[in-house]
Chain A
Amino acid sequence: MVPLWFYLVVSAALFAIGAYGALARRNAIAIVMSVELMLNAANINLVAFWRYLNPFEINGQIFAAFVFIVAAAEAAVGLALIIAIYRSRQTVIVEDVNMLKW
């Protein structure tokens, strides 16, 4: 039997990896991917807690399903934005899109 904390550690590691990617990758698409990793980490956490602490209720699964929805929406809009930026500025490097300052 795998204890709960195994899942939590995996989830934490995945979240940290995602955070690193979101902070360090230059390509906006890679950043979107990293964010997806973080959302996945959160989902593992949710489902694990649900399974171990409150398996008689359905809430945990529903919550995870809503995370899917948010992730899908985020990916669609995020990638659309990236393509729009690419079209207008010929780049997907986030550092090059730095007009919002001072």
Chain B
Amino acid sequence: MDVNWLDANYLPWLIPVPPLISFMLIILFTGRNKVLSHSIGVGSVVLSFLMAFGVFLKATGTDDFGPNAYGDSIKWMDVGLSEFRMGVLVDPLTAVMLFMVPIAILMIFVYSVGYMGAYPDDDPHKIRYSRFFAYLSLFAGGMLTLVVADNLLLMFMGWEIMGLCSYLLIGFLFEKKSAQQAAVKAFMTTRVADVLMLVGIGYLYAEAGTLSFRDILYNAEVLERLGNSDLTGYLGLSAASIIGLLLVIGTIGKSAQFPLHAWLPDAMEGPTPVSAMIHAAAMVSAGVYAVIRMFPLLEAGGNPHHAEYTAPLILMGVIGSITALGAAILGVGQNDIKRVLAYSTISQLGFMVAALGIGAYVAAAFHLITHAFFKALLFMSSGAVIHAMEHGEHAAEHGHDEHHAHHDEHAHDAHAHGHSSYTWADLNAKIEHGIEAGHLQPGERTPYGADYVGPNGELPDDAEWKTSIPQGLKPDFVAKPNNIALMGGLINKIPVTAYAMLAGSASLVGFPLITAGFWSKDEIIADAMTFITNSGQFEGHSPWLHMLVFFSLVIAATFTAFYTTRMWLLTFWGKPRSAMAEHATLMNHVDEEELAQAQTPLKRFWLQYSNSALMQGPLVVLAFFAIFAGFVGIHGDFPVLEWFTGSHNFFHEFVGPSLLHEPATIPFKIWPVLVSVLAFSIGAGFAYLVYGVPRDSYEKDPVQNMVGDPVWQALKDRFGFDTLYLATFYRGFEWFGRVFSYRKVDKETIDGILETVAVVFNNIGEAIKRFNHVIIDGVGDGIPQLIGLSGRWFRNLQSGRVQQYLLFTAVMLLAIGLFFVLRVL
């Protein structure tokens, strides 16, 4: 067999391999050795990065790369008389992803070494240190598989690997009830979407006979047939539309779009590098990447540039607009620094999805890349901030001087090393205390989550301890080290982080001209706007989707500018508003003796600053990209800058040919730029007016005064979506079993939406009850009894006897079989 594995055609095969091997090595062999484990993890990602960069260089060096994309595939299995091939494909879109993803992943890995290493030895972060790197490696492997895949099935495999990893990583601190719930929530929500996506993939295979991107998306004939509703599909929709809708639903779940967005803010329960992984380099990007990849199919049969929207495009445009705007508004009301970023992620993904809905293919891809850079940067910065705050809390408890001098030889005492507000030793003491005081029954499931504090940052009294700490997820709870109301003035404590985050924030809000985010966001808005003002080309079609997208995105951009500026100012500006912020630092806990023994200055530096350097180094790298990555996509005719670009939009010219019909470059107009600048100026300026003035405390947020308490509470409650889903989907089945006793459930809930739901159901229940009492008394009692009885009877199905389960399965299969047999007979 003549295979030169270093040939560029084969290189893409190898890109996802090192992280996957690293996962196996760590899980199977090196789990006990933390240093070896993280070395393997980082090393594998470096390898992947080098290979991916080689592929990227080759791709950019090839003239006219779009039609000349290369790949390789092998036979996977015979399917009937045809065969299914698995392979890799590198086209321009893959190439730019292969530039962004490995860099972001590598930075996350390096950062993780510092982040996870900074925890004390008895903290679960440190206990499961190796496992963390194993999961992270698997995650990276899944993402890289998805990127290089040349067909939907392989892509879906990577997609599902990431789904699993997100579950494992969000639930990494599984002692916390909230983390357990968040993990299940993320997994289940994305699962709903994934199932529908899989149906779409199946339908596509049935219609097209292949799942290869190149065969379907680069093949005018196939697209033509799939997009023609007279030839394929049902209910007046073409096959492409139905498949497109299903695939878009998959993305709605994976990329946390409305209405399946609820899992993402809670995904913050995982360690911060995970948040960066999920929100920047991998998971959510994968969702958008999938729709960008499948774009030719989604628009088959229509032409968004002439306002002939297909069903998937409309779905994307509407959902994207709602999500971008809604999440941006919600971002204003969050005090948890990571949650602000979570909503900004949802919102920015909404931008991309909406952009794709109006056919702005290149703009969506461009924003995906720049967003990944600056969002990874922002999340990792927030992790550094949280770490600094946790250090600060410990220092504040023990006195600042002691902080350095103090070293306990008996390092088992968590206080000696501890810097989370409640260490495990603290927690255990609390639990024991709770048992003694009778708040807790011995053996009762203990709610780790003691690092949660009340809405205003206060610690619960011991007496209230059990009731005041949420047993699980609660929308408006903010952990103390995450609470931006308690920060302030951190620019003097952790300046590198502060400036890095400033770069990231500037990029997120689209600071004009010098940030990556500006150029990519501007391109989306320009796309939307140009087609509105150019309505002549629509040939009578109304460009309503363009208008919707344009207006929601501009408003969303304004809100984005506001809440991002608010977040940065509250975190770094002014003066410290709590003892934690006063003492915040990223330095290691080092005992004096060891420090004195250190021979060289370098060693001294490393002892004191290793974690700080490991965490902040990647920030600097990413800050570079957050600023400069945008310059590849400047519009060719931008005034003044055209001297540098030579009237070329490099990104557009490189990525555009990924499509069979290269999207046309829109003519340059000054208005979209002005609108972008205006949105930024209004949002950021207003935020500076409100938050730029240093204050002693933010117990009551200025915005709260402006909009009033109910609105503020609604923002903190995330518009009640979480509660609503809990009430409908989760409780729905429970409710069905006991129609008449749900009132009790209702009373325990204060949320308005649930109450509305409850009142409606209550009335229905009362009506049924009265009806029964009046008309058929016996039946009235009989129905609930029957339901109860059937519940008890159905419970017997769950006997735990596998053979009984198997029998049921067999009977069902036989029923299906009989159906087919009888139909034939």
Contact = CB atoms under 8 A, between A and B. Distances in A.
Q: Do chains A and B touch in the complex (CB under 8 A)?
A: yes
Interface of A: 19, 22-24, 31, 59, 94-95, 97-102
B782 to A, nearest CB: 25
7 contacts: A23-B806, A31-B803, A98-B800, A101-B799, A101-B800, A102-B795, A102-B798
B816 interface: no
B801 interface: yes
Contact of B810 (A19, A98, A101): A19
Contacts of A94: 801-803
Contacts of B803: 22-24, 31, 94-95
B594 interface: no
Contacts of B802: 94
The 3 closest A-B pairs by CB, nearest first: A98-B800, A101-B800, A101-B798
Contacts of B806: 22-23
Which of B799, B803, B806, B807 has most chain A Cβ within 10 Å?
B803
Contact of A99 (B78, B800, B807, B810): B800
A23 B801 contact: no
Interface in B778-811: 795, 798-803, 806-807, 810
B368 to A, nearest CB: 40
Nearest to A100: B800
B188 to A, nearest CB: 20
A98 B797 CA distance: 12
A22 B800 CA distance: 16
A31 B802 CA distance: 11
Given A22-B806, A23-B807, A59 B800 contact: no
Which of A59, A97, A100 has most chain B Cβ within 10 Å?
A100
Contacts of A97: 800
A13 to B, nearest CB: 16
B801 A95 contact: yes
A72 to B, nearest CB: 21
A102 B803 CA distance: 16
A98 B804 CA distance: 11
B119 to A, nearest CB: 36
Contacts of A19: 810
Contacts of A59: 78
A78 to B, nearest CB: 12
B213 to A, nearest CB: 27
A84 B795 CA distance: 29
A34 B806 CA distance: 13
Contacts of B810: 19, 23
A98 B78 contact: no
Contact of B799 (A22, A24, A31, A98): A98
A69 to B, nearest CB: 15
B321 to A, nearest CB: 45
Contacts of B799: 98, 101
Nearest to A102: B798
A102 B801 CA distance: 12
Given A23-B810, A24-B803, A94-B801, 20 more contacts: A19-B810, A22-B803, A23-B803, A23-B806, A23-B807, A31-B803, A59-B78, A94-B802, A94-B803, A95-B801, A95-B803, A97-B800, A98-B800, A100-B800, A101-B798, A101-B799, A101-B800, A102-B795, A102-B798, A102-B800
Contacts of A24: 803
Nearest to B798: A101
A98 B810 CA distance: 19
Nearest to A59: B78
A46 B798 CA distance: 36
Nearest to B795: A102
A22 B804 CA distance: 10
Contacts of B798: 101-102
Contacts of A31: 803
A74 to B, nearest CB: 15
A20 B801 CA distance: 16
A98 B795 CA distance: 14
A48 B802 CA distance: 32
A27 B788 CA distance: 35
Contacts of A95: 801, 803
Contacts of A99: 800
Interface string B504-544: 00000000000000000000000000000000000000000
Which of B802, B806, B810 has most chain A Cβ within 10 Å?
B802
Interface string B64-102: 000000000000001000000000000000000000000
A94 B802 CA distance: 7
A81 B627 CA distance: 57
A100 B800 CA distance: 5
A101 B803 CA distance: 13
B742 to A, nearest CB: 21
Nearest to A24: B803
A43 to B, nearest CB: 18
Contacts of B78: 59
A46 B493 CA distance: 71
A32 to B, nearest CB: 13
Interface in B97-135: none
Interface string B371-405: 00000000000000000000000000000000000
A98 B807 contact: no
Contacts of A22: 803, 806
A33 to B, nearest CB: 14
B704 to A, nearest CB: 46
A76 to B, nearest CB: 19
A89 to B, nearest CB: 13
A8 to B, nearest CB: 15
A92 B166 CA distance: 37
A31 to B, nearest CB: 8
A101 B802 CA distance: 10
A46 to B, nearest CB: 13
A19 B798 CA distance: 21
Nearest to A101: B800
A94 to B, nearest CB: 6
A24 B78 CA distance: 36
Interface in B276-298: none
Contacts of A100: 800
Nearest to B814: A19
A74 B411 CA distance: 48
A23 B813 CA distance: 14
A24 B810 CA distance: 12
A95 B800 CA distance: 8
B604 to A, nearest CB: 53
Contacts of A98: 799-801
Which of B795, B801, B807 has most chain A Cβ within 10 Å?
B801
B142 to A, nearest CB: 25
A91 to B, nearest CB: 13
B801 to A, nearest CB: 5
